[in-house]
Structure 1
Amino acid sequence: MKKDILSVTDLTKQEFADVLNLASDLKEKRKKGILGDLLYKKSLGMIFEKASTRTRISFETGMFELGGHAIFLNPNDMQLGRGEEIKDTARVLSGYLSAIMVRSFYHKTVEEIAKYATVPVINGLSDKEHPCQILADVMTMRETFGEDLSSLKVAWIGDGNNVCNSLILSSLYTRFEVRVSTPKGYGPDGDIVKSTIEAGGNVRFFESPDEAVLGSDVIYTDTWISMGSENEKEKRLRDFSGYCVSRKLMEKASPKAVVMHCLPAHRGEEITDEVIEGKNSIVWRQAENRLHAQKALLVKLLHK
Structure 2
Amino acid sequence: MNKILERHHLDILRAIEREGTLTRAADKLHLTQSALSHSVKKLEQRLGTSLWEKEGRQLRLSAAGRYLLGLANRLLPQFEHAEAVVAQIAAGERGTLRIGMECHPCYQWMLKIVGPYLQAWPRVDVDVKQQFQFGGMAALFGHDIDLLVTPDPLHKPGVVFTPVFDYEQVLVVKADHPLAQKPFVEPQDLIDELLISYPVPIERLDIYSCFLMPAGVAPRRHKTIETTDILLHTVAAGRGVAALPRWLVAEYAERLPLVALRLGAQGVAKQIHLGVREADRHTDFVAAFVETAGQVKW
Q: TM-score w.r.t. structure 1 length?
A: 0.27
Please identify the structure whose Cα radius of gyration is greater.
Answer: 2
